């Protein structure tokens, strides 16, 4: 298996991309933020606008780019809203320094960027000395290992929207909607 950060601009067709962008900006499903709960009011799990074809396309892209022969499965799909002050410190999606992780099965993290009319919010990979602010409709994915620690700089103005998924080789963590 290859190991690297994959960045693909113009990942979706214009119409498919616009569907996700408009949904993220127009939906009323966000809910209220709860103090001391980092993700409340910021995530819509398995948003109605996503579909089997989107996930199947991601599966094929990851398998192709990383030259995988094993089947992979999505265990999570969520639309995420990042508002002023939201930040994410460096972390790995499936591995911790001490060897345990609450999501130990996550082999890949995958982010589709929906907009760029915000300030801050760059994704960065400290081990690779990389920091980027992807253009809208850019897909970024990477292994969930400590080698690919990543974080998100604080949003300083505007709202950042992303469609995030995590992928695993372990079928028992497959999303029910993707069976």
Does residue 176 lie in a domain region? no
Does residue 34 lie in a domain region? no
pLDDT > 70? residue 37: yes
pLDDT at 179: 61
pLDDT at 15: 94
Residue by residue, DSSP assigns 117-163 as: -EEE--EEETTTTEEE-PPTTEEEEEESSGGG-EEEPPEEEE-EEEE
The H or E element spanning position 42 is: none
DSSP class of 153: P
**Which CATH number do you get for residue 46?**
2.60.120.620
Does residue 63 lie in a domain region? yes
Q: Could you read off the pLDDT of 54-85 as tens digits, one per residue? A: 999 999 999 999 999 999 999 999 999 999 99
pLDDT at 51: 73
Does residue 32 lie in a domain region? no
pLDDT at 168: 96
Q: Could you read off the pLDDT of 100-119 as tens digits, one per residue? A: 889 999 999 999 999 999 99
DSSP class of 12: S
What's the domain count of the chain?
1
Does residue 64 lie in a domain region? yes
The H or E element spanning position 65 is: helix 52-65
51 or 173: which carries more pLDDT confidence? 173
Q: Could you read off the pLDDT of 87-104 as tens digits, one per residue? A: 999 999 998 878 788 999
Domain range for 79 is 6-26+41-143+159-169
How much is the mean pLDDT over the chain?
Answer: 92
Q: Could you read off the pLDDT of 120-132 as tens digits, one per residue? A: 999 999 999 999 9
Does residue 66 lie in a domain region? yes
Q: Is 14 helix (H, G, I), strand (E, B) or coil?
A: helix
pLDDT > 80? residue 48: no
pLDDT at 177: 74
Q: Could you read off the pLDDT of 141-158 as tens digits, one per residue? A: 999 999 999 999 999 999
Does residue 62 lie in a domain region? yes
pLDDT tier at 38, thresholds 50, 70, 90: confident
Does residue 125 lie in a domain region? yes
- Compute the average pLDDT of residues 9-23: 94
């Amino acid at each position: 298996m290859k190991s690297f950060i994959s960045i693909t601009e113009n990942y979706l067709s214009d119409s498919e991309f616009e569907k996700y962008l408009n949904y993220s900006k127009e939906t009323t499903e966000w809910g209220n933020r709860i103090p001391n709960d980092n993700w409340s009011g910021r995530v819509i799990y398995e948003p109605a606008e996503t579909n089997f074809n989107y996930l199947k396309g991601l599966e094929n892209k990851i398998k192709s780019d990383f030259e995988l022969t094993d089947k992979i499965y999505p265990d999570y799909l969520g639309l995420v809203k990042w508002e002023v002050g939201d930040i994410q410190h460096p972390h790995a999606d499936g591995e911790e320094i001490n060897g345990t992780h609450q999501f130990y099965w996550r082999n890949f993290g995958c982010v589709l960027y929906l907009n760029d009319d915000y300030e801050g919010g760059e994704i960065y990979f400290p081990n690779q000395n990389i920091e980027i602010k992807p253009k809208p409709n850019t897909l970024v994915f990477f292994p969930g290992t400590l080698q690919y620690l990543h974080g998100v700089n604080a949003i300083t103005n505007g709202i950042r929207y992303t469609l995030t998924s995590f992928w695993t080789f372990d079928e028992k963590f497959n999303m029910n909607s993707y069976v």
